[in-house]
Structure 1
């Protein structure tokens, strides 16, 4: 797509989305509800569809796995819907299907999360299944063995995928000595030691009300939601949340690591220390990243690496935030003979952004897109519940959606240039390349 065509498409997008952000923010009327048991929840009532969606999480994730039990949180989360109370795995799945309910759990570095989506007519059954999964998980030996085998198979497969190898190598390098370096899936050795008793103990440690965050969207009122939540989560102890991981110390010197694999194309990841979600410069960083590589075909990196030189099919950048760390990561893949040039062009674009910042037109285009794209993503009750939950996890207020457009609009050229100088520093960059790259100088081969 040529520059003029991209600009034309963006202008059309601006026309379509001009009214959406404010309209969506006004439509998402968030109510803060506290149940009789003291559970705090954000609720958006929506009678347009007979559905209730719940998004929730507990403090403590895979980074807090006990020593010698890496992977226990991830495995435990997968097993929560593999039978509970009087229901074995097959009976539990059948009950979900009969109730037209969808229930799932997962684990990130910092939190154990879950979702529920159920027809409002069947909400008693949906919430009851969730209660059983939380309060009476079974961890039957046959299901533990099945999920353990699946996890080990995924670990084996990941070792053959350059993108997975690059991602894991980046994390172990950046966070060496820190809990974030550990693979959330665990190690084969530790996984083999995880008994049903250890999984039950991990569930008892994390599934406590003191670390609970809940958002709900759909065809349900405040009083009914409070009743359902107290019935569902009331059987959990109040407990105490696991301690946070230690603070991360970012790298102070550049590093390049090559992991050799017999593949025709090398995968490259380039990471820099990022910016915390509550940093005053957050939206300036979001705008900068959009222009740099987060804006897809409108970004500088795509234009320079893909369009002008054909060095890669794709290239992008993104901001990652964790409780104790933040990153800005650039990713691409290129033929072994050309990956060195792709990396050189990426570094040149980072330097250009650091010294020049963005243009007025780039700033205006980024604001238009960022203001409108969120509205387009909120296409279901589950997506709205997920967004609200992420706001809660980030410690933001319910009116943030109303203020978000103004915060983006307030970003200035100088603030983008300032945050670029702050983040895009060569001396803190870690580069990982997986493949057989030609011309990449490595200070560590693995």
Structure 2
């Protein structure tokens, strides 16, 4: 059996473990001999080890004049390392049935490793090489840069992408979160191999490192492998994060003209921090409003009753220095104004009346069970542990989560709805040729 086919077969076996796994996960905290802390869920039922990790500092800390360098650097970490060029490094991953990758978000540089447990020495060695001996070869830098610039240009032609970028630029004007994580052609052009090496040295530090692991590996072996892969990194001081975002205090509508038959629209409000006591009330409220798919109010009112849009939804988004409540939809240019009006009306209804007892019960039932259904692989569980660490949650949070959701009351939802769903803080971006929607600076 080919190595990657073996990996796929092993991953498929993980599906039989769920959904009961969410309530049965035992998270162990370990500290390696070098002092690196990690979370581990040991599972010997399948021969897989999955690692999820990240470093403090993301694209929001890109140096001046180098917009996009962090994202570009992240992609290049696996484009050759040590004595291996990009092709040789990819082949070595293939031979080891390992999958290694890096990404950059606004706040963190993230990575993941999946490998068959029989090949874990090789998988962790590849991780060590990527972290400590990346090549940043000029030919690969030029190739990745060209790909990124092409992606930026393509995104500028898609109404949905334009709406997303415009919303971030509008909401976070004057803040580092306003910048496109992919960067700009000028910033990318400035990213020389030497500057990329410098950026990697600024971010790849043991201070601010978060690590989680799931799979067929014990505590002592994981500690050994973590020290092997990350132990040569310096401690250092991570880049300073941007200041806390100051939300807008007045409504705003931004219209971006595009010659398309359907307008894309995004609406945003200041959200709620992950450690807020009303977080789970906000989660319930959002589920009823637009996060619950076909069961949500927005879906029922905008699509089912009026046929104004194919899709409409809402969601909570958190960053290190900001939080948002987002709503999105798309409609024919002639009907987008009505769709936005219906969304605002539903916001008002939720703000004034909250949710019904039946909606509260249904939302709690769904939110309690949905997490288990999403944990369909060792990688997804490792990602969950990693997210919990970033959010500052304790390892026993999974055992308390159902009780926290169950404790949400009707009054809690009304309270958080009145706090969040404020017309005076609503920012709306519409991209297309909308009829009846005018810019409000």
TM-score where L is the length of structure 1: 0.94
Contact map agreement 1:21 1:371 (CA 8 A) in 2: no
User: What secondary structure does 1:301 align onto?
Assistant: helix
- What does the per-residue CA deviation read over 1:204-245, in whole Å, with 9 as the maximum and x for residues that have no partner? 000000010000000000011001010110110011111121
- What does the per-residue CA deviation read over 1:49-100, in whole Å, with 9 as the maximum and x for residues that have no partner? 0000000000000000010011010000000000000110000000000000
Is there any run of 5+ residues in structure 1 with no aligned partner, and where?
Answer: 1-19
Cα distance between partner residues in 2 of 1:135 and 1:441? 53
Contact map agreement 1:107 1:113 (CA 8 A) in 2: yes
Work out which of the residue numbers 340, 351, 355 in structure 2 matches 1:354.
351
Partner of 2:77: 80
User: What secondary structure does 1:320 align onto?
Assistant: strand
Contact map agreement 1:103 1:115 (CA 8 A) in 2: yes
Is the counterpart of residue 415 in structure 1 residue 402 in structure 2? no
Is the counterpart of residue 106 in structure 1 residue 121 in structure 2? no
Cα distance between partner residues in 2 of 1:377 and 1:256? 36
User: What secondary structure does 1:216 align onto?
Assistant: strand
Partner of 1:259: 256
> CA offset at residue 247 of structure 1?
1.1
User: What secondary structure does 1:337 align onto?
Assistant: coil
Counterparts of 1:155-166 in structure 2 under 5 Å? 155-166=152-163
Is the counterpart of residue 54 in structure 1 residue 61 in structure 2? no
Is the counterpart of residue 43 in structure 1 residue 46 in structure 2? no
Cα distance between partner residues in 2 of 1:175 and 1:37? 39
Partner of 1:402: 399
Partner of 1:296: 293
Work out which of the residue numbers 286, 295, 308 in structure 2 matches 1:311.
308
Cα distance between partner residues in 1 of 2:82 and 2:380? 30
User: What secondary structure does 1:330 align onto?
Assistant: strand
Cα distance between partner residues in 2 of 1:30 and 1:22? 17
> CA offset at residue 22 of structure 1?
9.5
Cα distance between partner residues in 2 of 1:80 and 1:194? 14
> CA offset at residue 26 of structure 1?
4.0
Partner of 2:195: 198
Cα distance between partner residues in 1 of 2:18 and 2:267? 33
> CA offset at residue 25 of structure 1?
3.8
Cα distance between partner residues in 2 of 1:329 and 1:175? 14
- What does the per-residue CA deviation read over 1:141-178, in whole Å, with 9 as the maximum and x for residues that have no partner? 00000000000000000000000000000000000000
Cα distance between partner residues in 2 of 1:278 and 1:349? 27
User: What secondary structure does 1:209 align onto?
Assistant: coil
Work out which of the residue numbers 424, 431, 436 in structure 2 matches 1:427.
424
User: What secondary structure does 2:233 align onto?
Assistant: coil
> CA offset at residue 441 of structure 1?
2.0
Cα distance between partner residues in 1 of 2:366 and 2:55? 33
Partner of 2:212: 215
Cα distance between partner residues in 1 of 2:96 and 2:21? 30
Is there any run of 5+ residues in structure 2 with no aligned partner, and where?
Answer: 1-16
> CA offset at residue 309 of structure 1?
0.2
Partner of 1:150: 147
Cα distance between partner residues in 2 of 1:377 and 1:156? 34
Cα distance between partner residues in 1 of 2:165 and 2:380? 28
TM-score where L is the length of structure 2: 0.95
Partner of 2:223: 226
Partner of 2:12: none
> CA offset at residue 443 of structure 1?
2.1
Cα distance between partner residues in 2 of 1:27 and 1:240? 37
User: What secondary structure does 2:417 align onto?
Assistant: helix
> CA offset at residue 23 of structure 1?
4.0
Contact map agreement 1:21 1:372 (CA 8 A) in 2: no
Is the counterpart of residue 97 in structure 1 residue 94 in structure 2? yes
Contact map agreement 1:272 1:429 (CA 8 A) in 2: yes
Cα distance between partner residues in 1 of 2:240 and 2:425? 28
RMSD: 1.0
- What does the per-residue CA deviation read over 1:113-159, in whole Å, with 9 as the maximum and x for residues that have no partner? 00000000000000000000000000000000000000000000000
Work out which of the residue numbers 348, 362, 366 in structure 1 matches 2:363.
366
Is the counterpart of residue 439 in structure 1 residue 436 in structure 2? yes
> CA offset at residue 442 of structure 1?
1.2
